[in-house]
Amino acid sequence: MQGKTVLILCEKPTAAQRVAKALDERGDPQKQETERVPHYVASRDGKRLVVVAALGHLYTVAPSVKDRNVFPVFEFQWVPRYEVERDARETQTWIEVISELSRKAQECILATDYDIEGATLGYTILRYACGGKEKEAKRMKFSTLTTGELEESYRQLSDHIEFSTVEAGICRHFLDAMYGINLSRAMTVAAKQWSGRYAVLSTGRVQGPTLKFLVSRERRISSFVPTPYWGIRAKVEINGSLYEVEYERDVIESRDEAQAVVNECKGKKGKVAEIEVRKFLQNPLAPFDLGALQAEAYSLFKYTPRRTADIAERLYLEALISYPRTSSQKLPPTIGYRAILESLSREPRYEKLSAELLRRRELIPREGEKHDPAHPSIYPTGSLPERTLSEPERRLWDLVVRRFMAVFSEPAVKQGVKASITVNGHHFFIRGRQTLKEGWIFFYRPFMRSEEVVLPPLEEGQEVEFKEVLREDKFTKPPPRYNPSSLLRKMENEGIGTKATRAGIIDTLYNRGYVSGERAVVSELGLDVIDILNKHCPEVISVDFTRDLEESMERIQNGNEKIESVVNKAVNRLTPVLEELKKHEDTVGQDLSDAVRKARMQQRNVGDCPVCGTGKLMILFSRRTGKRFIGCTSFFKGICKAAYPLPQKGSVKPAQRSCRTCGLPMIQFKVQGKRPWTFCINPSCPSKEGRR
Amino acid sequence: MNCEICGRRTESKLCILHEEARKNLLKNYEAWRRSMNVSWEEYLREIQQNPFAGIWAKEVAHHLLVSGSANEQEGLAKGTETNK
């Protein structure tokens, strides 16, 4: 006969399965399904444990006024997601099943992710689906889904859930809804009033300032005027080999001056004047926090921050790495360095690397500055994959494993050599760089870019011949565009958004059509939205304003501020902004409508017309047949009759690139459920010969 | 009033984006004149072709050349010495 029934609430089905397996005394929990909602029954210490998962958030914050044309609204409440989101219908069954299981349970344990979102979603389920069990529920805290840690976490249950974190989470949801819904409604309503057409326009508490960063960079790039300057490229011969040397000045402002340097040095013999040898230590990189992992994965594999976060989440759910949504760069000894390395040594490719570290008497990690009270930095748990990992998963796991190993190693010893060479009164430098002792690089080698330049033996006074001296015509360059990774870093440095939300906000900017491409190019719509907000309500795109609210939420989490005061502060700031927007609804509506119209035109713009050279090729619809085709804008002026056929099914959009074979623009064609296909619009393009 | 280049609503001839590019064109001409010894018109043509020039800077350069204001306005102020 079993005793109490305990309901354990997890965040995701995979986590629920792992928790059940870890806690069941026989390691074999019984899987059951109610209305296709899986849950697991385990037994431990005479108790019946029912482990069930949510599907992420089951409740969301919604305004009391449902009419999308009404703003401002400051009354918000938690409602089941299925009531307000069209694609969240299955959450209804989930809520009903959890309610039913909770009624039969005498105890509740929250085992969602130990962070602000995990606490908030757990709280809403305990409160609304479980009939107010949030105050009596206990809490499991863990950073990995390994059996050992889950068992330990169950033994050391917290008496209650983390209420201050929940309060901060609730505050974040309310503020995001208040800003997002009111501002987006104000913009959408204004545009609709003016043009009579509906368009999805949005901004938000973090979205606005993020778009502002992009717009400000776009303006610098698009209005950039380069200035000319000159440089010198030279090569010297030493012992029969050619080596590149740097001229003493990076920038020469006149062409004549640069040419004079070339004339005075070309074919001449220079003398090695001074040799400077410098040894230095290169410390291991700090353990990964989420931002650093996203940056490294982007730099090495070109994975977007969102993709990296998703892969890391999968690795966490497979118990291969610790909880990835962390901002910590610390590795506390309690995680058991030696046990992890011993476990990893079972994998052949880590055998030698682990043995190298395990040989040491003491393992001391080199940690970074950043600290997260909830979780340590990202580290491998030591568990090995139970299935074949996909290539991206394998790469990311390898990256985490090797970084973990590297932090226990000693610094690399490097040597830099800088020799100056004098010729005809001009100074050149030759530089070498060599690794004397690998240290941590031994572990992280696959992810290091080699910078080794080994110089031949040099002596002061040695003569070298300048074999090649060229004048280089150069121009100053505009600042680089943001990419998803550098934008994420910028948001992190500016203190806006959270580690859990930043990647999603960047995705929203792309989905709204404000930004496109890997090198984030801001669209006309993005430029206009920021221009309009800047004109009528600069506060809502102010970084300081957003950062101030982020700090307030942090104070709530630390118990130093109350949710009511922060919400009131936000309402007081938002009210005049919305009044101002309402007052200028006509102008705002006209500006936004123009921007939307231009954006729609832009989406149909395929490229320059190759026939007349003056018009633009656009995706058009025939008035007579209703069929779509590509035609030139000069057609209506009677100048050009260029036209190209298009498939009549599926969606088409300009691919923003030209055909390599014939140079005409290309189109991306997509049918639902199939991979997109990019092709040249020219039916007679030689590249299509094989297909005809 | 609409921007003469992009049609954005504005209170002067150019919208703020193209005006910013125009100011940059004026500001950097002196550096070009000093190092390349080019006239204002040659400068505008160079900018139109330059791969590092921003799209709005190119559009303003094109606009100034086409509208004939290249020599009449900025050219007079900036390029007289070179044109001698």
Q: Which domain holds residue A683?
A: 609-688
The pTM assigned to this predicted structure is 0.82
The tens digit of pLDDT for each residue in A449-468 reads 877 888 888 889 999 999 99
Task: Select from B35, B38, B50, B78 the residue whose CB has the most chain A CBs within 10 Å, as the one to mutate to test that interface.
Answer: B35
pLDDT band at A162 (very low <50, low <70, confident <90, very high): very high
Which residue in B17, B50, B52 is closest to A223 by CB distance? Answer: B17
Considering the domain architecture, whether residues A419 and A271 belong to the same structural domain is answered as yes
Instruction: Give the pLDDT score at B69.
Output: 66
Query: In sequence order, what are the residues at sequence separation of 6 or more whose Cβ sits closer than 8 angstroms to the Cβ of residue A662?
Result: A680, A682, A685, A686, A687
Query: Per-residue confidence at B76, pLDDT binned at 50, 70, 90?
Result: very low
Closest CA–CA distance from residue A528 to any residue of chain B (Å): 9
Domain co-membership, A318 together with A385? yes
Each residue of A633-661: pLDDT tens digit?
A: 887 777 888 899 998 988 888 887 888 88
What is each CA distance from A232 to A329, A430, A464, B71, in whole angstroms? Answer: 43, 13, 17, 35
CATH number at residue A325: 1.10.290.10
Nearest to A619 by CA among A596, A651, A595: A651
- Across the range A227-233, mean pLDDT stands at 95
- Would you tell me the crossing angle of helices A543-557 and A563-583 to the nearest 10 degrees? 160
Q: Do the Cβ atoms of B52 and A591 come within 8 Å?
A: no
Residue A82: band (very low, low, confident or very high) from pLDDT cuts 50, 70, 90? very high
Q: Is residue A601 part of a domain?
A: no
**Cis peptide bond N-terminal to A72, omega within 30:** yes
Residues of A in contact with B28 (CB under 8 A): 225-227
Section B11-24 average pLDDT: 92
Pair type for strands A47-53 and A5-10: parallel
Question: Binning pLDDT at 50, 70 and 90, where does residue A540 land?
Answer: confident
Mean pLDDT along residues B53-77: 78
pLDDT number for residue A592: 86
Q: Does the beta-carbon distance from B17 to A225 stay under 8 Å? A: no
pLDDT above 80 for A171: yes
- Do A223 and B8 lie within an 8 Å CB cutoff? no
* pLDDT tens-digit readout, B29-47: 999 998 888 999 999 999 9
Q: Which residues in chain B are closer than 8 Å to A227, comparing Cβ atoms?
A: 28, 31-32, 35
Write down the pLDDT at residue B70: 57
pLDDT tens, residue by residue, A253-311: 888 899 999 999 998 999 999 899 999 999 999 999 999 999 999 999 999 999 999 99
Looking at chain A, the whole-number percentage of residues with pLDDT higher than 70 is 99
The CA distances from residue B8 to A35, A221, A527, A599, B24, in Å, are 56, 19, 11, 13, 20
Q: How far apart are CA A10 and CA A51, in angstroms?
A: 7
Torsion angle of alpha carbons B8, B11, B16, B20, nearest 10°? 130
pLDDT in tens, A109-161: 999 999 999 999 999 999 999 999 999 999 999 999 999 999 999 999 999 99
- pLDDT at residue B77 above 60? no
What mean pLDDT do residues A222-234 have?
95
> Quick one: pLDDT at residue A621?
86
Min distance A193 CA to chain B CA atoms (Å): 19
Is residue A589 located within the same domain as residue A641?
no
At A378-410, the pLDDT tens digits run 999 999 999 999 999 999 999 999 999 999 999
Instruction: Write out chain B residues lying below 8 Å of A589, CB-based.
Output: none
Partners of A28 in the beta sheet?
Answer: none
Rounded to an integer, the average pLDDT of A678-692 is 80
pLDDT of residue A113: 93
Average pLDDT over residues A345-367: 95
Instruction: Please list every residue in chain A whose beta carbon sits closer than 8 Å to the beta carbon of residue B9.
Output: 590-591, 594
Closest CA to A453 of A490, A502, A416: A416
Q: Which two tokens stand for residue A530?
A: 């920021």
- Considering only CB atoms, B56 lies closest to which of A223, A255, A594, namely A223
How many contacts does A have with B, using Cβ atoms within 8 A? Answer: 64
Residue numbers of A annotated as active site:
323
CA distance A661 to A684: 11
pLDDT at B83: 37
Read off the pLDDT of each residue in A575-594 and give the average, rounded to a whole number.
88
- Confidence class of residue B72 from pLDDT cuts 50, 70 and 90? very low
Q: Verify whether the Cβ–Cβ distance A222 to B54 is below 8 Å.
A: yes
Using the predicted structure, report yes or no on whether residue B84 has a pLDDT greater than 60.
no
- Is the same domain home to A235 and A297? no
A108 and A136 in contact (C-beta within 8 Å)?
A: yes
Which residue of A225, A253, A477 is in closest CB contact with B35? Answer: A253
Q: With a cut of 60, say whether residue A27 has pLDDT above it.
A: yes
Residues of A in contact with B25 (CB under 8 A): 225
Q: Is the pLDDT of residue A412 over 90?
A: yes
Give, in degrees to the nearest 5, the angle at Cα B13 between B7 and B16. Answer: 75
What is the per-residue pLDDT for A622? Answer: 84
Residue showing tokens 């989440």:
A313
| pLDDT given for residue A219 in this prediction | 96
Q: What's the mean pLDDT in A91-120?
A: 95
Residue A295 lies in a domain: yes
Q: Do A225 and B24 touch (CB under 8 A)?
A: yes
B55 vs A222, A253, A531: nearest CB? A222
SS3 A332: coil
Residues A102, A64, single domain; the answer is yes
Measure in Å the smallest separation between the Cα of B38 and chain A Cα atoms: 12
Please tell me whether residues A511 and A567 are part of one structural domain.
yes
* pLDDT computed for residue A590 by the predictor: 87
> Mean pLDDT: which of A426-440, A502-516, A594-608 is highest?
A426-440
Dist. CA A78–CA A64, nearest whole Å: 10
> Residue A452: inside a domain, yes or no?
yes
The pLDDT of residue A318 is 94
Domains of chain B by residue range: 16-83
A692: pLDDT strictly greater than 60? no
| Å between B60 CA and nearest CA of chain A | 9
The answer to whether residue A200 scores a pLDDT higher than 80 is no
Q: How far is A521 from chain B (nearest CA, A)?
A: 12
DSSP for A490-556, please give it.
HHHHHT-S-TTTHHHHHHHHHHTTSEETTTTEEPHHHHHHHHHHHHH-GGGG-HHHHHHHHHHHHHH
Angle (CA) A546-A550-A553 rounded to 5° is: 140
CA dihedral A644, A648, A653, A657 (to 10 degrees): -40
Best CA proximity match to A249, nearest among A479, A472, A418, A432? A472
Using a CB-CB distance cutoff of 8 angstroms, which residues of chain A are in contact with residue B21?
222-223, 225
Let me know whether A328 and A392 are in one domain: yes
Nearest CA in chain B to A591: B9
pLDDT exceeds 70 at position B26 = yes
pLDDT of residue A247: 96
Looking at residue A638, what is its pLDDT?
A: 76
Q: pLDDT band at A691, cuts 50/70/90?
A: low
Shared-domain flag, residues A651 and A684: yes
Across the interface, whether the CB atoms of B52 and A254 are under 8 A apart is answered no
Residue of B nearest to A254 (CA): B35
pLDDT tens digits for range A482-532: 998 899 999 999 989 888 889 889 999 988 889 988 888 998 889 989 988
- Residue A583 located in a structural domain: yes
Dihedral, CA atoms, B55, B58, B59, B65, nearest 10 degrees?
180
Q: What is the DSSP letter of A389?
A: P
Whether A64 and A99 map to the same domain: the answer is yes
Q: Are residues A119 and A202 in the same domain?
A: no
pLDDT recorded at residue B21 = 96
- Is residue A602 in some structural domain? no
* CATH number for the domain that contains residue A580: 1.10.460.10
A603 inside domain = no
* Subunit contact B9:A594, Cβ cutoff 8 A: yes
Give the number of other Cβ atoms within 10 Å of residue B35's Cβ: 19
Do A135 and A154 fall within a single domain? Answer: yes
- Asked if residue B75 has pLDDT above 60, the reply is no
DSSP structure class, residue A127: I
Distance (Å) from the alpha carbon of B26 to chain A's nearest alpha carbon = 9
**Which residues in B have their CB inside 8 Å of a CB on A?**
8-9, 16-18, 20-21, 24-25, 27-28, 31-32, 34-36, 47, 50, 52-57
For chain A, what is the domain count? 5
Cβ separation B20–A478 shorter than 8 A? no
A535 and A556 assigned to the same domain: yes
**Which residues are within 8 A (CB) of A573 and not within 5 positions of it... i.e. 6 or more apart?**
A539, A545
* Candidates A225, A253, A534, partner chain B, best to mutate (most B CBs within 10 A): A225
Q: Is the residue at A327 inside a domain? A: yes
Q: Which residues lie across from A244 on neighbouring strands?
A: A235
Interatomic CA distance for residues B79 and B40, integer angstroms: 5
Residues in chain A within 8 Å Cβ distance of B53: 224-226
Q: Report if residue A604 sits inside a domain.
A: no
